[in-house]
Amino acid sequence: MKKGIQRFDFFLNLLEVLMLKADKQKNPGLFLYQNNARTPLFMLEGLSKMYTEIHNRNKFSKLKEHFKLLEDAIGAIDYYDSLAKNLKSNKKIPAKVFQYLQAQSREKIQHLNELLNEKKWIDNNNARILKIKKKLAEADWQDEENEMAAIQKFYTKSIGGIIDFTHSTAYHFDNMEEDVHELRRKLRWLSIYPQALLGSVQLATSKSKAKHLSKYLTETIVNSPYNKMPDAAENNQFLLLCKNYFLSLSWVIDALGKLKDEGLQIVAIKEALQQTEGIDEATAIKKVYQLLGNKQTKLPALLENAASISQTWFREKNLEQLVIGTVKNL
């Protein structure tokens, strides 16, 4: 069996187990959310994004949309549910804000349940996954060497697209979702692809160590399980990434994630206040800062911090140094 279909099968089998269990639940959407179905969906979406570019565009772009639809739906649940949990200990937050966030979470779960039924992800015949497996079996997969060359080209092109995105914003961020969250999404795919490729991507230590990277090599980042590549297993062709530059990528994703979460918390409370109290945006945002206290960093400052972090990291040309190249065997 070719490596490409093996990768899809691995994550499809994980998802299939969850779907079969979800089908027996009263609330399948909630079950999938609570049992981390988002992870295999991320991997399948990442593989589909990649193979859209290096294989059959029509076939894999359709697969990508199927996986993305579910992943987005679970992400929407996570957004409201996580915010409600994070704010629970803050006694200053009005009960109606919690109630609004919890109601939104329930609404998103219901939306996911509708998708699961509409797209036939959960039924007695397991129709959706069987259909996907049939489509994959019909694909004309490349041999390992040619495929790895195409993967390197795709990964390098993805890096170029991210650099172009930062140039388009000129590191001036106005919106937490459209600027910070979007940049982080793009960067995060660079860390998801290696996990999805099941050992075909490995990290290599450079002989010459760039001094500027030391600030990114924190104990948390270095020891993170997300920065450990899957075992090389039976792969014979590999894409090598420079370890310390990859760790710096992980650091900037984490740093932007913390700022993004803090900013979107402000946005969500503002939304809840506007919907429950019928007040305008300016009044709502002022009330948010009163509720969160003097220690809460304002949105403009969070955006400025994100821009500063991004500008420093990108101007160090860290992405340009990430890819070493492809090798046969290790």
Same domain, 170 and 91: no
pLDDT tens, 60-92? 999 999 999 999 999 999 999 999 998 888 888
Same domain, 251 and 304: yes
pTM of the model: 0.94
pLDDT along the chain (330 residues), means of 10: 93 96 95 98 98 91 96 97 90 92 97 95 85 93 95 97 92 91 96 97 85 95 94 94 97 97 95 95 95 92 96 96 92
Same domain, 115 and 172: no
Domain count across the chain: 2
CA-CA distance, 229 to 214, in Å (whole number)? 21
CA-CA distance, 117 to 264, in Å (whole number)? 30
pLDDT at 1: 78
Same domain, 220 and 261: yes
Structural domain harbouring 322? 144-328
Angle at which helix 144-169 crosses helix 38-54, to 10 degrees, equals 100
CA-CA distance, 24 to 31, in Å (whole number)? 10
Same domain, 174 and 230: yes
pLDDT at 157: 97
pLDDT at 301: 97
pLDDT at 208: 66
Asked if 23 and 167 count as a contact pair (C-beta separation under 8 A), the reply is no
Using the 3D structure, point to which of 82, 107, 137 is the last residue of a domain.
Answer: 137
The radius of gyration of the chain's CA atoms, rounded to the nearest angstrom, is 22
Using the 3D structure, point to which of 118, 137, 156 is the last residue of a domain.
Answer: 137
Same domain, 128 and 162: no
pLDDT tens, 218-264? 999 999 998 999 999 899 999 999 999 999 999 999 999 999 999 99
Q: Tell me which residue of 261, 288, 260 sits closest to 179, measured CA to CA.
A: 260
Same domain, 156 and 60: no
